[in-house]
């Protein structure tokens, strides 16, 4: 089975608890309904403590071939697992914005080289949760709260190797869910703490999310990605889950039809 041309890189990024998972599941369902075989690299990494997949795990015709790859940042293997379980965890040990951004950059470098770029080079679609947009917003805000200049910090973040590599292979489409009612967002976070998803993340608090929200909707963030050729779309996550899912699919369909 031969593929021609570059694949498609789609990312969903935004505030904690805003509904990225629902959007990603909607896009995955759309792919599957349209006959696409989906490889879940997240499940791969979680299963039996496996590391990141390699090209042969999802693209090795005629034995193995998928159309779409699901990924996430941070990853669920190696440094990505350490980020989740230690570096951004509410464990009483504080890691500076430098520690965090360097860890994210290294995890990003590994996943881009091992999973994302090989998939794109073989014409596959990559649907990913989070990307450089998270580091540019979360870590630059953390740096600002530590008394550092945000613009200088963003320049330093963009210079880190894993971050530069991702922007050289920037997402074709970046979907950013937005929400007006921050209180409802925190309720969602509290709800998932009591249910299936508890990240115990230091960023999941009202004050931090309130300061973070305008950064995701800022001109400077959009401008950075558009300069690298990314199409940036915003989605209203304050409506019903079903409507948010429908919005996401429409954005994706429109992008594919007009790219």
The model's confidence at residue 48, banded by pLDDT at 50, 70 and 90, is confident
Q: How far is CA 231 from CA 66, 196, 227, 259, in A?
A: 25, 32, 10, 9
Interatomic CA distance for residues 13 and 177, integer angstroms: 7
Paired with 59 in beta bridges are: 65
132/136 Cα distance (integer angstroms): 6
The percent of residues above 70 in pLDDT, for the chain, comes to 90
For the cut 60, the answer to whether the pLDDT of residue 34 exceeds it is: yes
How far apart are alpha carbons 10 and 36 in whole angstroms?
15
pTM reported for the whole predicted model: 0.92
DSSP at 201: B
Tell me the pLDDT tens digit for each residue of 209-231.
888 999 999 999 999 999 999 99
CA torsion angle 251 136 22 115 (round to 10):
90
pLDDT over 70 at 165, yes or no: yes
Q: Say if residues 129 and 73 touch (Cβ distance below 8 Å).
A: yes
Burial label for 210, CB within 10 Å (0-12, 13-18, 19+), is middle
**Mean pLDDT lowest among 9-13, 149-153, 193-197:** 193-197
Instruction: With a cut of 50, say whether residue 1 has pLDDT above it.
Output: no
- pLDDT tens digits, one per residue of 62-103: 889 999 999 999 999 999 999 999 999 888 898 988 999 999
Q: In sequence order, which residues have a C-beta less than 8 Å from that of residue 236 and are 6 or more positions away? A: 177, 178, 179, 243, 244, 247
User: DSSP 3-state assignment of 83?
Assistant: helix
- How large is the average pLDDT for residues 168-188? 84
Would you call 22 exposed, middle or buried from its count of C-beta atoms within 10 A (0-12, 13-18, 19+)?
middle
Partnered with residue 126 across adjacent β-strands are 9, 69
Q: Which of 165-197 are b and which e, b meaning 16 or more Cβ less than 10 Å from the residue's Cβ?
A: bbbebbbbbbbbbebeeeeebbebbeebeeeee
Which of 10-14, 44-48, 128-132, 212-216 is least confident?
Answer: 44-48
């Amino acid at each position: 089975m031969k593929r021609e041309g570059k694949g498609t890189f789609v990312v969903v990024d935004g505030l904690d608890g805003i509904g990225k998972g629902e959007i990603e599941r909607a896009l995955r369902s759309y792919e599957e309904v349209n006959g696409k075989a989906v490889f879940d690299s997240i499940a791969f990494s979680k299963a039996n403590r496996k590391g990141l997949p390699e090209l042969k795990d999802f693209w090795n015709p005629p034995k193995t071939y998928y159309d779409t790859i699901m990924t996430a940042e941070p990853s669920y293997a190696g440094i990505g697992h350490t980020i989740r379980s230690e570096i951004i965890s509410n464990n009483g040990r504080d890691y500076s914005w430098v520690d965090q951004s360097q860890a994210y950059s290294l995890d990003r470098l590994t996943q881009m080289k091992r999973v994302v770029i090989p998939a794109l080079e073989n014409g596959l679609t990559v649907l990913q949760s989070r990307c450089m947009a998270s580091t540019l917003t979360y870590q630059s805000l953390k740096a600002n709260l530590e008394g550092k200049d945000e613009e200088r910090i963003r320049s330093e973040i963009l210079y880190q190797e894993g971050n530069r590599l991702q922007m050289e292979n920037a997402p074709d489409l970046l979907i950013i869910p937005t929400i007006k009612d921050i209180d409802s967002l925190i309720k969602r976070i509290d709800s998932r703490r009591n249910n299936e998803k508890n990240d115990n993340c230091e960023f999941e608090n009202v004050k931090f999310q309130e300061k973070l929200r305008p950064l995701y909707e800022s001109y400077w963030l959009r401008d950075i990605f558009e300069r690298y050729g990314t199409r940036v779309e915003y989605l209203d996550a304050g409506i019903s889950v079903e409507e948010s899912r429908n919005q996401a699919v429409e954005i994706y369909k429109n992008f594919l039809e007009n790219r």
